[in-house]
């Protein structure tokens, strides 16, 4: 059976989300039909707001409503340390533990030759620019413990070390193949505390 065009478009839209296949998308589309109008309107406003009202911080690359973000503009944070992560969601996960008080840098991806992602495709140039500031004494590489994450960490280490800046890596309290956003606060704290120099 062919679905009416509005339902077919909604199913296709849901299938654009990661991990959503045909069956789940169909179930979500029919659930949306059963939702009250005001709930659907609020959902649509939230989607539009995320695209319209958020931007990337011009300093660190994190998502923010104001530029620079509240972390970069917080004068009480330790400006001698920059923790480098793959995605903005990793910043949120690390901030939950409330122990790290330095700055962040978001790469917006990792090096992946198989997918054609090179150093020019992720947020590396602005990181190198930030390191010209004499305040920075340590860069903590917090890329995920995946093949691409490890390769990115090694590349950044080779790029940064000649400048005389200490380069450390999160300890492997994070299991190999896992993502930072899914780790609990204790695991993240142990990983930050047990970081090692590369």
For residue 101, give Cα distances in angstroms to 61, 78, 134, 170, 176: 17, 6, 18, 15, 25
**Amino acid 174: pLDDT:** 67
**Amino acid 84: pLDDT:** 98
**Amino acid 145: pLDDT:** 82
- Clarify whether residues 16 and 110 are in a common domain: no
- Clarify whether residues 75 and 36 are in a common domain: no
- Clarify whether residues 134 and 110 are in a common domain: yes
**Amino acid 189: pLDDT:** 76
> What residues make up the domain containing 96?
63-197
List per-block mean pLDDT (blocks of 10 residues) for the chain, which spans 198 residues: 92 96 97 96 95 96 95 96 97 93 97 90 94 91 90 95 92 73 77 76
**Amino acid 56: pLDDT:** 96
**Amino acid 198: pLDDT:** 73
| Contact indicator for 64, 95 with CB cutoff of 8 Å | no
**Amino acid 23: pLDDT:** 96
- Clarify whether residues 24 and 121 are in a common domain: no
- Clarify whether residues 100 and 131 are in a common domain: yes
Residue 58 lies in a domain: no
The CATH number that applies at residue 29 is 1.10.8.420
């Amino acid at each position: 059976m062919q679905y009416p065009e509005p339902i077919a478009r909604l199913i296709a839209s849901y299938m654009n989300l990661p991990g959503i296949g045909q069956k789940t998308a169909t179930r979500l589309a029919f659930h949306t039909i059963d939702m009250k109008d005001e709930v659907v309107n609020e959902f649509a406003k939230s989607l539009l707001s995320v695209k319209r009202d958020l931007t990337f911080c011009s300093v660190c690359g994190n998502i923010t409503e104001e530029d620079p973000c509240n972390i970069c503009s917080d004068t009480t944070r330790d400006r001698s340390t920059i923790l480098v992560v793959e995605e903005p969601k990793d910043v949120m996960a690390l901030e939950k533990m409330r122990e790290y008080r330095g700055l962040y840098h978001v790469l917006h991806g990792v090096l992946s030759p198989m997918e054609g992602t090179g150093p020019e495709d992720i947020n590396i140039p602005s990181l190198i620019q930030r390191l010209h500031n004499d305040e920075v004494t340590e860069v903590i590489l917090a890329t995920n413990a995946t093949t691409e994450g490890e390769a990115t960490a090694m590349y950044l280490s080779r790029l940064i070390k000649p400048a005389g800046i200490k380069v450390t890596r999160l300890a492997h309290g994070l299991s190999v193949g896992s993502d930072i956003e899914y780790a609990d606060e204790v695991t993240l704290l142990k990983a930050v505390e047990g970081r090692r120099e590369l």
